[in-house]
Amino acid sequence: MHAAADRSSWVDHVVWWHVYPMGFVGAERELSELGGLGGLDGRVEHRLGRIEAWLDHLVSLGCNGLLLGPVFASATHGYDTVDHFRIDPRLGDDADFDALVAACRERGVRVLLDGVFNHVGRDFAPVAQALAEGPGSAAAEWVHGLYENDGVVTADYFEGHDTLVTLNHDAQVVRDHVRDVMLHWLRRGVDGWRLDAAYAVPASFWAAVLPAVREEFAEAWFVGEMIHGDYVAYVAESGLDSITAYELWKAVWSSLDTVNLHELDWTVGRHAALVERFVPMTFLGNHDVTRIASQVHDERHRPHAVALLGFLPGVPCVYYGDELGLEGVKEDRAGGDDAVRPAMPAERGLLENAHPEVEELYRRVLGLRRRHPWLVDAVTSTEQVANEHLLVRARARSGEGSLTLALNLGDQPYGLPAGASVVEGSAPGGAGSVEPHGWAVLEG
């Protein structure tokens, strides 16, 4: 059964702009650099206003949602949280956060927070106590896999990083804490949560936590970061609304880069099956992956990725800078994320080496999406596929609306179905065929 009736109505119309705050504002690498006791009692840098200054840019693109990466006090990059109830002093304070939320509200922009609840930093108070005192500590129940060997206390660490301590998701105290954190910031005006590393958290944890949150905030939206796993089963068991569509992300850049649209066709079919059960969050980039402009080496095929983001069903998310043509390669080393998490100038007009043609492309594609909101959960099917060509049809579930996306990665024109009219594309107004290395959205 399709789950449309269970979605909050605003979700059908939201397009997110995803910001990694620490990088965006050029924050210090470590909280301790602010002085005081580990930085928490040091100075406060009021930088969240730098994000506020870009909100008009967000709206001009056609976005109406701001997805904020970690904003809570952490030791370094935001994912080693030390206090879920405090804004990181490198970003600002409660007043700065409230001002940002208010500025979003003035523009009709929704706000989604990044909740890092699989793990915390070693300086998170209960974890620090448990690591200092061992399994006999009153705080031991907070930590998963806590044990002592030859006088050394250790625990389960997230993906081998000993600065990221895995929480015990079976403990009621942990469940109560996450519930309280979610409610605290929802009461402060946010609209939902991106749940980091959800794939590492038992689905039963969210099933236990979310009902109490939804009781007060029935319209809140919860999307889990799922890189792998059984997406459908996890959503059903956890009670989440959505997951991040990593399968589709990979297929988009890989098929365009290798000129193998059969790969994309297969994944579009998988994606269509997911949409029958829930609506995934779709994206071309985020803070953890190489930028789309660096993944697709033939720049003639990068617009095709943007067209797919706007056309295929899902809740679209644009990672800051992708719409400006920024490049950046993620590397597996210390500081290897820096290239995809850059600082941005005080306002859009100060950005050097911008690509206005890319920005305009996003505006056109998101404008198409705005004019056809039924695409959010459209029924899709492949009409034609070859290595260099793909024709995907999208139909509104109500039966009132139909569009077709044509992709051409080849050196020759790609003939279009008779009677079709081009409503958007690399050569708007064209008819009969898609030019070499072009794309088009068709009506009729």
Neighbours of 431 (CB within 10 A): 12
| List of residues 6+ apart from 159 with CB closer than 8 A | none
Does 436 fall in a domain?
no
What domain range is 44 assigned to? Answer: 4-374
Task: State the pTM of this model.
Answer: 0.97
| Assigned token pair, 392 | 């995907």
Could you please report the per-residue DSSP string of 227-275? SSS-HHHHHHHH--SEEB-HHHHHHHHHHHHHT-HHHHHHHHHHHHHHH
238 falls within a domain? yes
Helix (H) / strand (E) element for 203: namely helix 203-216
End-to-end CA distance of the chain: 28
User: Is the separation of the CB atoms in 195 and 167 below 8 Å?
Assistant: no
Please work out, in degrees rounded to the nearest 5, the angle formed at the alpha carbon of residue 101 by the alpha carbons of 99 and 318. Answer: 130
Instruction: Tell me the average confidence (pLDDT) per consecutive run of 10 residues in the chain, 444 residues long.
Output: 65 98 98 90 96 97 98 97 98 98 98 98 97 96 95 92 96 98 98 98 98 98 96 98 98 98 98 98 98 98 98 98 97 92 93 91 98 97 97 94 97 90 82 92 89
Please list, in sequence order, all residues whose beta carbon lies within 8 angstroms of the beta carbon of residue 99, skipping any fewer than 6 positions away. 48, 49, 52
Whether residue 380 is contained in a domain is answered as no
- Give the containing element (helix H, strand E) for 443: strand 439-443
The two structure tokens encoding residue 269: 């079919």
State the pLDDT at residue 6. 66
pLDDT at residue 1, as a whole number: 41
Spatial distance between the Cα atoms of 100 and 119, rounded to a whole number of angstroms? 27
In a domain, 381, yes or no: no
Residues written for the chain: 444
Residue 152 forms part of a structural domain: yes
How far is the C-alpha of 371 from the C-alpha of 368, rounded, in Å? 5
User: Other CB atoms closer than 10 Å to residue 277's CB: what's the count?
Assistant: 15
Q: d(Cα 186, Cα 192) in Å, to the nearest integer?
A: 7
Helices (H) and strands (E) in the chain, counts: 13, 21
E strand map for 75-232? 81-87, 110-115, 119-121, 147-149, 152-154, 164-166, 192-195, 221-224
CA atoms within 13 Å, Cβ hemisphere of 55: 23
Tokens 């690399």 identify what position? Answer: 426
Query: For residue 405, which phi and psi values (nearest 5 degrees)?
Result: -105, 125
What CATH number has the domain bearing residue 369?
3.20.20.80
- Consecutive H or E run containing 309: helix 302-311
Number of domains present in the structure of the chain: 1
Helix axes 203-216, 172-187, angle to 10 degrees: 40
Predicted pLDDT at 283: 98
Q: Among 241, 188, 228, 314, which Cα is nearest to 8's? A: 241
298 falls within a domain: yes
Beta strands in 127-181 (DSSP E): 147-149, 152-154, 164-166
Q: How many Å apart are CA 243 and CA 317, to the nearest integer?
A: 12
Q: How far apart are CA 423 and CA 417, in angstroms?
A: 14
- Residues 6 or more apart whose CB falls under 8 angstroms from that of 161 comprise none
In a domain, 337, yes or no: yes
Return d(Cα 364, Cα 428) in angstroms, integer.
Answer: 10
Please state the φ and ψ torsions of residue 90, each to the nearest 5 degrees. Answer: -70, -20
- d(C-alpha 344, C-alpha 352), whole Å: 10
DSSP helix/strand/coil, 52 = helix
Crossing angle of helices 302-311 and 246-258, in 10° steps, is: 150
Listed in sequence order, the residues at least 6 apart from 42 whose beta carbon sits closer than 8 Å to its beta carbon are 34, 35, 36, 89
Decide if 329 contacts 342 (C-beta within 8 A): no
Q: Report d(CA 280, CA 219) in Å as an integer.
A: 17
Q: Which helix (H) or strand (E) holds 186?
A: helix 172-187
3-class SS shares of the chain: helix, strand, coil, % to 5: 40, 20, 40
- Is residue 15 a contact partner of residue 283, using CB atoms and an 8 Å limit? no
